[in-house]
């Protein structure tokens, strides 16, 4: 569950732990990817490829989060329909 952090909003301990867990996993993937990229760029000066790869990493993460939100929303809708 990812929530936008807003001033004045309260979060449960579980929400904070989930948010930190997701961020940590994302950070680990980015670090791993950049280590791989660093090996590819040894001795090369190609900044364009670096920015393209950074864009691809960020869009993958955004798609992953969007997919989780859609699944969660669908699960909530199906739960409401079952209750009705």
Tokens, residue 30: 């980015």
pLDDT at residue 69, as a whole number = 84
Report yes or no on 5 lying in a domain: no
Instruction: Give the chain's end-to-end CA distance (angstroms, integer).
Output: 25
Please list, in sequence order, all residues whose beta carbon lies within 8 angstroms of the beta carbon of residue 55, skipping any fewer than 6 positions away: none
Report yes or no on 3 lying in a domain: no
pLDDT at residue 44, as a whole number = 65
Report yes or no on 2 lying in a domain: no
Report yes or no on 43 lying in a domain: yes
pLDDT at residue 60, as a whole number = 84
Number of domains in the chain: 1
What residues in the chain have per-residue pLDDT under 50? Answer: 1-2
pLDDT at residue 2, as a whole number = 46
Report yes or no on 70 lying in a domain: yes
Report yes or no on 6 lying in a domain: no
Report yes or no on 71 lying in a domain: yes
What is the distance between the alpha carbons of residues 38 and 18, in angstroms, rounded to a whole number?
30
pLDDT at residue 1, as a whole number = 40
Question: Which residue segment(s) compose the domain that 40 sits in?
Answer: 13-83
pLDDT at residue 7, as a whole number = 61
């Amino acid at each position: 569950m990812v929530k936008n952090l807003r001033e004045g909003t309260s979060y449960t301990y579980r929400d904070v732990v989930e948010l930190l867990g997701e961020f940590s996993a994302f950070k680990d993937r980015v670090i791993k990817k950049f280590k791989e990229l660093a090996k590819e760029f040894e001795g090369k000066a190609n900044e364009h490829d670096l920015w393209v790869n950074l864009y691809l990493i960020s869009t993958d993460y955004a798609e992953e989060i969007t997919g989780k939100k859609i699944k969660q929303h669908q699960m909530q809708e199906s739960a409401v329909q079952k209750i009705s």
